[in-house]
């Protein structure tokens, strides 16, 4: 009987050790998700501006900044292409952005060149935590605003002459400001300056000279500017002013118009528009050499012709 009990004890111990050696299925740890943390990051572009619920970006080289709430790597960022040749991923025509992270791997920056004329595309962000890319729509604005500007002689209540500038009306339409605006992000501001010397002698983006007369400017169409008490001449020699009208859209695209305004002692006014050219080459400024159209007579005290406003600039396409 004792031998039987001993055998049973040995069998029980052997079974215990054998069960302990059997292979088991490993348990995969679950990475906890921090409550309230967004998987998709925030994306910002240097010239990005929100207008009417849409994000507009200026055409050209821009810096893209991607910011995560927690350290994240690896990530990939692509821009452009609406073609749905890969519905669950990034379209093959999209351009990848070379990114540089901060030490904490929460902020990534890279430079990319945006192109288009009010074209709509996406910025795509891919991470290991997303099943499909995070998408951010944007519109590229690559064309500046435009306006026709009427230049006319005003009534002066002081010594000197008064010149008025305003948006030209389209005679075929009822409204007066349809020749002023921006077909994409919208007009942001305008300014009109008069110089006694050519303002772009040794510079181009920013005038070298200080304007003799300036309008306060505005942030919307129509253009409405009156310059008063402008000094004229007391001799037979006419006085020439160099006029520069500058328009900016909301993302910073710039349009300039150039003209000489010639005044005589009786506030007679002649206007000659010029191309944006320097040395015969298209430019962002003007050397006031290449004429655009013929000289326009606005008013002459010795003439029987009624005063007719001169017009410079262009109408807006797409408005």
For residues 129 and 296, what is the distance between their CA atoms, to the nearest angstrom?
A: 66
Residues 6 or more apart whose CB falls under 8 angstroms from that of 282 comprise: 275, 276
* Between 219 and 38, the higher pLDDT residue: 219
Same domain, 179 and 275: yes
Residues 196-240 pLDDT 10s? 999 998 899 999 999 999 998 899 999 999 999 998 876 667 899
DSSP-derived secondary structure letter, 221? S
Residues 73-90 pLDDT 10s? 999 999 987 656 566 678
| Confidence tier at 129 by pLDDT (50, 70, 90) | confident
* Between 308 and 112, the higher pLDDT residue: 112
In a domain, 160, yes or no: yes
Question: Phi, psi at residue 3, to the nearest 5°?
Answer: -65, -40
Same domain, 292 and 157: yes
Q: What is the mean pLDDT of residues 188-196?
A: 96
Same domain, 305 and 186: yes
- Is the CA virtual torsion 92, 98, 104, 107 positive or negative? negative
Same domain, 170 and 259: yes
Q: What is the pTM of this model?
A: 0.80
In a domain, 224, yes or no: yes
Q: What's the total number of domains in the chain?
A: 2
pLDDT of residue 168: 66
Q: What is the mean pLDDT of residues 248-271?
A: 94
- Is the CA virtual torsion 176, 179, 185, 190 positive or negative? negative
CATH number, domain of 50, equals 2.60.40
| Confidence tier at 70 by pLDDT (50, 70, 90) | very high
In a domain, 126, yes or no: yes
In a domain, 35, yes or no: no
Share of the chain above pLDDT 70, in %: 79
Nearest partner of 240 among 223, 253, 226, 259, judged by Cα: 259
pLDDT of residue 66: 97
Same domain, 168 and 186: yes
pLDDT of residue 86: 61
Structural domain boundaries, residue 164: 146-313
């Amino acid at each position: 009987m004792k031998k039987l009990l001993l055998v049973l004890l040995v069998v029980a111990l052997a079974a215990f050790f054998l069960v302990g050696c059997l292979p088991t299925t490993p348990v995969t740890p679950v990475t906890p998700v921090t409550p309230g943390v967004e998987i998709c990051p925030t994306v910002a572009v240097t010239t990005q501006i929100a207008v009417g619920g849409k994000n507009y970006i200026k055409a050209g080289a821009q810096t893209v900044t991607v910011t995560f709430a927690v350290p994240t790597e690896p990530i990939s960022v692509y821009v452009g292409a609406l073609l749905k040749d890969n519905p669950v991923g990034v379209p093959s025509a999209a351009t990848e952005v070379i990114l540089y992270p901060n030490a904490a791997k929460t902020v990534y920056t890279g430079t990319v060149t945006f192109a288009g004329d009010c074209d709509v595309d996406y910025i795509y962000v891919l991470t290991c935590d997303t099943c499909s890319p995070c998408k951010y729509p944007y519109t590229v604005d690559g064309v500046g605003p435009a306006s026709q500007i009427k230049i006319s002689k005003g009534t002066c209540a002081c010594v000197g002459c008064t010149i008025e500038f305003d948006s030209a009306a389209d005679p075929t339409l009822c409204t007066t400001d349809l020749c002023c605006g921006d077909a994409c992000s919208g007009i942001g501001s305008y300014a009109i300056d008069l110089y006694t010397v050519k303002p772009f002698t040794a510079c181009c983006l920013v005038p070298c000279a200080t304007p003799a007369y300036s309008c306060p400017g505005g942030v919307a169409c129509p253009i409405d500017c009156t310059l008063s008490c402008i000094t004229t001449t007391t001799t037979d020699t006419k006085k020439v002013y160099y006029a520069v009208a500058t328009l900016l859209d909301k993302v910073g695209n710039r349009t300039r118009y150039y003209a000489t305004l010639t005044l005589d002692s009786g506030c007679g006014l002649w206007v000659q528009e010029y191309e944006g050219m320097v040395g015969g080459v298209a430019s962002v400024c003007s050397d006031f050499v290449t004429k655009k159209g013929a000289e326009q007579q606005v008013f002459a005290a010795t003439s029987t012709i009624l005063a007719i406003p001169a017009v410079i600039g262009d109408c807006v396409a797409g408005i």
